[in-house]
């Protein structure tokens, strides 16, 4: 699906997409100006009263036209993730550039839904991202290209915005069978955290392949119990993004789910979010169908002014 520049401007005005040339890395003037990246399933959980969800709070937060709603690709007829009656940007989420079934390149070949305005590349150290892609997020001499670059170029050629959300765990010491000697491509030094390795390897320099108005999200949520660390690491990543591409909207992750849940209270989530208020344009709230976690995320939204 190809958009002309005029069509993109019209879409931006209608949906709240960031206009080209806008520098969006800094803090926020008001709650209504805050930007969000929200999976549709998270919206469902946060509006479910049986889980402690609150439709009014959620509407106040996410129906300002500044939320990018995401769903995974399930073929050309994948339903839009934008809730009925809401304004926002429709995002297709991908964990791979090409994996033979539902990577971006596969979806382009098989057909994209008519509503899609942006695509997400969520490359992490998991089975959904091929090992070759995990090891070539940035330029890799063994394959002679970068998958982040390929993803951005293909999306932009289709007139689509891009959301890059690479995991800290791309930096690891696990064997990678796609490369000589099964060597890890972004190794972690002795005594080093994966977050510091993420900065040292310059994972966020992939922002160079974004365009103004695209989104880069740093998965800062593992650090949320220590606001000073959450702030310092997010600042370092933000600085890398800023140097590579002014005009990119920079977001941070907040909240943890499932087996990784850190038991953060609404107060602790707010302390972390407040620590980066002058650094980020908004957040990716992580919340699953767990009543305690939904309740605490609603508490965060209330504390943020919704």
Closest of 204, 223, 70 to residue 138, by C-alpha: 204
Maximum Cα interatomic distance, the chain, rounded to a whole number of Å: 55
Domain count, the chain: 1
Which residue has 């965060």 as its token pair? 300
CB under 8 Å to 55, separation ≥6 — which residues? 47, 49
pLDDT score for 32: 78
Q: β-pairing, 35-39 with 282-285? A: parallel
Query: From first to last of its 306 residues, what are the pLDDT tens digits of the chain?
Result: 443 333 433 334 333 333 333 334 545 547 878 999 999 999 999 999 999 999 999 999 999 999 999 999 999 999 999 999 999 999 999 999 999 888 999 999 999 999 999 999 999 999 999 999 999 999 999 999 999 999 999 999 999 999 999 999 999 999 999 999 999 999 999 999 999 999 999 999 999 999 999 999 999 999 999 999 999 999 999 999 999 999 999 999 999 999 999 999 999 999 999 999 999 999 999 999 999 999 999 999 999 999
Q: How many residues does the chain have?
A: 306
pLDDT score for 102: 84
Whichever domain contains 180, its CATH number is 3.20.20
For 181-192, the DSSP string reads GG--SSPPPTT-
Secondary structure letter of residue 145 according to DSSP: B
The whole domain housing 162 covers 5-19+27-303
pLDDT score for 3: 39
| Burial of residue 141, with CB atoms counted within 10 A of its CB: 0-12 exposed, 13-18 middle, 19 or more buried | exposed
CA distance 273 to 283: 8
The tens digit of pLDDT for each residue in 34-44 reads 999 999 999 99
CA distance 100 to 6: 34
Closest of 176, 92, 93 to residue 137, by C-alpha: 176
How far is residue 99 from each of residues 24, 78, 129, 165, 183, measured CA to CA in Å?
32, 18, 8, 18, 21
80 phi-psi bin (left φ>0, alpha ψ -120 to 50, beta other): beta
pLDDT score for 122: 98
pTM (two decimals): 0.90
Q: HSE of 106 in the Cβ direction (CA atoms, 13 Å)?
A: 14
């Amino acid at each position: 699906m190809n958009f002309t520049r005029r069509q993109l401007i019209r879409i931006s005005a209608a949906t709240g997409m960031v206009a080209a040339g806008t520098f969006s890395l800094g803090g926020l003037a008001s709650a209504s100006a805050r930007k969000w990246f929200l999976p549709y399933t998270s919206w469902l959980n946060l509006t479910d009263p049986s889980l402690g969800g609150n439709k009014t709070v959620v509407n106040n937060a996410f129906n300002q036209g500044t939320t990018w709603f995401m769903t995974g690709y399930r073929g050309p007829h994948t339903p839009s993730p934008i809730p009925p009656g809401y304004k926002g940007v429709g995002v297709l989420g991908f964990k791979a550039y090409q994996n033979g079934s539902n990577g971006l390149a596969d979806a382009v070949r098989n057909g994209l839904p008519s509503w899609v305005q942006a695509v997400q590349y969520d490359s992490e150290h998991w089975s959904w991202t091929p090992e070759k892609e995990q090891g070539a997020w940035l330029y890799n001499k063994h394959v002679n290209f970068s998958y982040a670059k390929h993803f951005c170029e293909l999306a932009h050629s289709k007139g689509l915005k891009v959301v890059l959300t690479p995991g800290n765990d791309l930096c690891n010491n696990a064997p990678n069978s796609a490369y000589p000697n099964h060597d890890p491509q972004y190794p972690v030094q002795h005594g080093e955290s994966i977050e510091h390795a993420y900065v040292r390897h310059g994972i966020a320099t992939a922002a160079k392949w974004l365009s103004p108005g695209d989104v880069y999200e740093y998965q800062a949520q593992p650090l949320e119990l220590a606001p000073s660390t959450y702030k310092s690491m997010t600042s370092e990543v933000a600085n890398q993004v800023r140097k590579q591409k002014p005009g990119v909207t920079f977001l941070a992750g907040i909240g943890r789910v499932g087996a990784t849940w850190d038991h953060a209270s609404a107060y602790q989530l707010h302390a972390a979010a407040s620590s980066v208020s002058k650094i980020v344009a908004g957040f990716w709230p992580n919340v699953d169908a767990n009543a305690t976690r939904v309740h605490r995320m609603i508490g965060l939204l209330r504390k943020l002014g919704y």
